[in-house]
A and B are shown apart, each in its own frame.
Chain A
Amino acid sequence: MANVDRKYNAVIVDDEPLARQIVREYLSGHSDIYIVAECANGFETVKAVTESMPDILFLDIQMPKLNGFEVLELIEHNLAVVFTTAYDEFAVRAFEVHAADYLLKPFSKQRFDEALQQAKNKLGTTAEKTFDAIVEDSRSLHKPLERILIRDGTKVHIIPAEQIDYIEAQDDYVAVRSAGKSHLKQTTLSKLGNELAGEKFIRIHRSYILNIERLAKIELYAKDSRVAILTDGTRLQVSRTGYAKLKQFL
């Protein structure tokens, strides 16, 4: 059970001022809750959560820039999430990402208090799943990936899948190359390869995933060794199995 003396930090996220207002109003009766931030979009939320590390997040789903699920994907620390939305079609997905509760707008004070209690209970117990696993779940539901989200400190970069040139493995990170820029993301090449649309992104080498749209030509480099030349002139090594995969698309 939740500790009676415990204090909780909360962040309210909704792009509608009135929707934030009612959460604030409902929370005003709870002296153990401190509202540390109110956010109106996904970017602000990632920043606020990274900076203030709240315990409870009241999270709208449809928001500018990043939706609620994408925000969770970019947050690294463990917290209890209460979704607030007018859409009931996200309930299953909210359950999959282990939300503490799912409030359908408009909701009553009573229903809100229940959700708050759920959130507190969730913080009191150790989660049956690690947060990484939760994020993994939320990602796997997203297939195929339409855009890659990269957090750089408190800032978020959004790279639409079609703007990716290629992705290169770099130790624990991958470097996503897009329009001459490189963005580091902490994931593995095979994970990303599984998430991106298979008919557009080909693993051509142990270290590379290529956006097939960027391929200009393939040259024989040495016996059994080929090199892919991209439209911008970049040369990437192609392995034998990579070439076999590429051939299906040419």
Chain B
Amino acid sequence: MHPLFAQRERFVLYMAVWAVIAGLLCLLLVVMGAVTWAEAIALIVPMSLVYSFMCLASLYLCRSFPLQETPFLKLIAVVTASSFLSAALWLALGKGIALVLARIDAFPELNSKYDANIPLLLGIGVLLFVLGIVIHYLLLAFDTARGAERRALELQVLAREAELKALRSQIQPHFLFNSLNSISALTASDAQAARAMSLRLADFFRKTLKLGQQQFIPLAEEFELAENFLSIEQIRFGPRLHFEKNIEEGCELILVPSLILQPIMENAVAHGVAHLIEGGTISFSAKKKGSHLLLSVSNPCDRDKPRSKGNGVGLSNIRRRLDALYGTEVSVVIEQSVHFYRVDLVFPVSPPSSQ
């Protein structure tokens, strides 16, 4: 079915255009003195009505011979043949109408008058059909362009989703290897502790996988995961690692991007506490600031530690992810001195409406 029939307004508009064409045709024939007004209307209105549908058929022609893929000469041949054919059919129809009108004595002279104007009507028929082809080719090109645009947009959305997914799941493999080494050590000395650590590790990875599937999770779950992670690291580092969490009342259910704190926690351990002989305390907290949520993670660090390369990767990923999710309403601020490091994340309390 022609797409024109799918929309009432378009169909009405199309028929209105044809009414104008029919009017002009009548005017032309009358002004030339070929027919009277009554004869013109009686002949041209039914002819135009039929031709308006015949011209729509040129869509299938355009689809069968795509503009880009059809050789130019072939295209010319196809257009010429089809337009002459349809114009000829149209003229035959007109001849029929004229004959009938002459026979029933409504317009006795119409038949001969019609025959005299066949070349003119043939030219107009060909012209109208060619015009139909041209318009259809234009519409098809427009459709193709719009389709390409939509596909590009879809691709963009897909790419962003893939990126977000990649940004979410970035647990350092060293964490796993070091934890397994701790378990390996514990198996000989303290089998219970080894089992407890394997369970905690399994728990952590299971939660990470589950929460990583979701774009947003309640803050309480994010903090629980962070605690889970730090409690495993505590087995590795022993008394050197401490942590404290502080969650303002009413913040527990606020939705935050899943695993947003994980890279910061990893940095706080690997680049902070792990470099201190005496160790230190990692603090993480959440509080509301108007319509925004402030998440802070702080840790002590060693003043003699050389600036490590690649330290910023996790943070720039967080920034990119927050940007992608919330747009401009986010900030990632690093506060640091020689023996202290803090990351503040600020983003809106209400997650953006899901797209």
Contacts and interface: CB of A to CB of B under 8 A. Distances in A.
Query: Is B one of A's binding partners?
Result: yes
Contact of A18 (B185, B270, B274): B185
B304 interface: yes
A17 B236 CA distance: 7
Question: Among A15, A63, A146, A147, which residue has the most Cβ atoms of chain B within 10 A?
Answer: A15
Given A25-B188, A25-B189, A106-B184, A65 B277 contact: yes
Nearest to B182: A18
B178 A160 contact: no
B177 A41 contact: no
Given A21-B185, A41-B277, A65-B275, A106 B180 contact: yes
A107 B178 CA distance: 11
Contact of A21 (B180, B189, B237): B189
A18 B306 CA distance: 26
Nearest to A70: B306
A189 B238 CA distance: 43
Given A18-B182, A41-B277, A62-B274, A86 B238 contact: no
Contacts of A40: 277
Can you list the 8 inter-chain pairs with the closest CB atoms, starting with the nearest?
A22-B185, A86-B177, A105-B181, A106-B181, A18-B185, A146-B306, A106-B184, A158-B304
6 contacts: A16-B178, A16-B181, A18-B235, A22-B185, A64-B274, A106-B184
B307 interface: yes
A104 interface: yes
Task: Bin the interface of chain B by size.
Answer: 20 to 34
A105 to B, nearest CB: 4
Contacts of B182: 16, 18-19
Contact of A22 (B177, B181, B237): B181
B302 interface: yes
Contacts of A18: 181-182, 185-186, 235-236, 238
B304 A105 contact: no
A173 interface: no
A221 interface: no
Interface string B238-277: 1010000000000000000000000000000010001111
A149 to B, nearest CB: 10
A22 B274 contact: no
B24 to A, nearest CB: 80
Contacts of B189: 21, 25
A88 B351 CA distance: 39
Contacts of A158: 304
A63 B237 CA distance: 11
Interface in B156-198: 174, 177-178, 180-186, 188-189
Contacts of B240: 15
Nearest to A43: B277
Contacts of A160: 304, 306
Chain A interface helix/strand/loop/mixed: loop
B304 A147 contact: yes
Contacts of B238: 16-18
A45 to B, nearest CB: 12
Interface of A: 15-19, 21-22, 25, 40-41, 43, 62-65, 86-87, 104-107, 146-147, 158, 160
Given A87-B174, A160-B304, A16 B184 contact: no
A16 B236 contact: yes
B277 A104 contact: no
Nearest to A86: B177
B187 to A, nearest CB: 9
Contact of B304 (A22, A65, A87, A107): A65
B302 A64 contact: yes
Contacts of A63: 275
Nearest to B178: A86
Contacts of B183: 106
Contacts of B184: 22, 106
Given A105-B180, A147-B304, A64 B275 contact: yes
A87 B240 CA distance: 21
A216 B274 CA distance: 39
Contacts of A107: 181
A105 B182 CA distance: 9
Nearest to B239: A17
Contacts of A146: 306-307
A58 B297 CA distance: 34
A158 B185 CA distance: 33
Interface in B288-308: 302, 304, 306-307
Contacts of A65: 275, 277, 302, 304
Interface in B96-142: none
Contacts of A87: 174
A19 B304 contact: no
A41 B178 CA distance: 17
A16 B237 contact: yes
A22 B235 CA distance: 14
A146 B305 CA distance: 10
